[in-house]
Amino acid sequence: MIIDAHIHCSGRRKDDMLRPYAKLNGLRYDLEELLERMESNGVGRGLLLSPPMAGGEPLPNSEVVRLCERSGDALFPVFTVEPEKGAVKEALRLAGKHRGSVKAFKVWLGYRKVFARDEVFAPLYDYAEEHDLPVLFHTGDTATSTGSLTHAHPLTLDEVANERDGLKIVVCHMGNPWILDTAELLYKHPNVFADISGLMVGGGGYSEEYARTLARRISEAVYYAGGAEKIVFGTDYPVETHESGLSLVSLLAVSQLDKERILWRNASRLYSI
C-alpha cells in the first residue's frame, strides 16, 4: 500500500492558491476527488498539509484536522508552523490536543524568508524531538518569483541537523534543483530524510527529458547516499498528479526493494502510519 507523504487540500475553497496547479493538471481538487485518486492509484494513506490561501496565510491547521477526520483514516494531519512566537505556541497546543493523529510539522522557509535555525522555532524542535515527530521543510524552488532561495536552499538545514541529532528533518521536494546537495545531507546526517514530491510540474517543451533528468538525479542521490532508506514518495497534490508522481518512481534506476522503500516502507516507519 503506497503512502503519499505530501498532499495539500482545502476542501473546495476558491481562495486556495494551489488552484492554478489543479487546473493545469485537470484536477477538480477537493477531498472526494483526492480520496478517489488515491484509491485508484493504490495509495492507501497520506499526509495532509495546509495549502497557501489568498493573502498568503496557510489554511488553518484545525481545518486540516477536519479534512483528515472526513477521510476515513486515509489522511493524517501535518501542522504548518508560521515563524511567529504565538503561531508556534498555538500549533503545539493543537498538536497536544490531537496527539497520536498529528504526524509531523511543516515549515515554509523561502516563502517566509526565515532560516530553519531561527530561534523562533526552538520550542517547535524541542516538542518535535520529544514526541518523535518529523519536521518537514519546504526547500528548493519557490512557486512564486518573490520567494527567497537563500532561505530555501537545502544546505541551510545542515546547521539544524548538526545541532539537533534527535530531530527528524525532512527535506521537501528533494531540494530541487539542489538534489545532490540534499544527497549530501542524507549521507551525512542519520536524522535527515527527503521527499520527492511536487517535482513533475507543468508540461511544455522538454517535459519528457526533464522527467528523465529528475529520475537520473534522484537515482544518483540514492547511489551517493548509499541507499534509499530515507527517501519518501509524495505528490504535493494538486501540484502533481498521482499518475505522474508514480511514473517518476518507475523511471528510477534503483532496485525494486528501494522503490518499495520510497513508495511506502520508509514513510510507514518515519511517520508511524
- Cα separations in angstroms, 110 against 31, 32, 43, 54, 116: 27, 31, 30, 17, 10
Check if the beta carbon of residue 157 is closer than 8 Å to that of residue 169.
Answer: yes
Output the smallest distance, CB 109 to Zn ion, in A.
12
**CB nearer to Zn ion: pick between 4 and 236:** 236
Q: Please list, in sequence order, all residues whose beta carbon lies within 8 angstroms of the beta carbon of residue 241, skipping any fewer than 6 positions away.
A: 25, 27, 37, 235
**CA dihedral defined by 162, 95, 265, 31, rounded to 10 degrees?**
-130
Output the smallest distance, CB 212 to Zn ion, in A.
23
Output the smallest distance, CB 136 to Zn ion, in A.
9
Bridge partners, residue 171, by sequence = 137, 194
Output the smallest distance, CB 198 to Zn ion, in A.
6
C-alpha cell at 135: 519536521
Output the smallest distance, CB 120 to Zn ion, in A.
21
Planar angle of CA 253, 258, 262, nearest 5 degrees: 105
Size of the site for Zn ion (CB under 5 A): 1
Q: Which residue is nearest to Zn ion (CB)?
A: 236
**CB nearer to Zn ion: pick between 197 and 258:** 197
| Residue 240 in contact with Zn ion, rule: CB under 5 A | no
Dihedral (CA of 27, 31, 36, 39) sign: positive
Output the smallest distance, CB 169 to Zn ion, in A.
16
Q: Looking at 181, 236, 240, 258, which residue binds Zn ion (CB under 5 A)?
A: 236
**CB nearer to Zn ion: pick between 71 and 254:** 71
C-alpha cell at 1: 500500500
Strands (E), 2-84: 2-8, 43-49, 75-80
Output the smallest distance, CB 117 to Zn ion, in A.
22
Check if the beta carbon of residue 92 is closer than 8 Å to that of residue 123.
Answer: yes
Residue 35 backbone dihedrals phi, psi, to 5 degrees:
-65, -40
**CB nearer to Zn ion: pick between 49 and 249:** 49
**CB nearer to Zn ion: pick between 181 and 236:** 236
**CB nearer to Zn ion: pick between 197 and 266:** 197
Q: Report 189-228 residues binding Zn ion (CB under 5 A).
A: none
Q: How far apart are CA 148 and CA 251, in angstroms?
A: 31
C-alpha cell at 160: 539544524
Span from 20-28, 121-129, 177-185, 235-243 in contact with Zn ion (CB under 5 A): 235-243
**CB nearer to Zn ion: pick between 8 and 168:** 8
Site string for Zn ion, 153-182 (x = CB under 5 A): ------------------------------
Q: Which residues bind Zn ion (CB under 5 A)?
A: 236
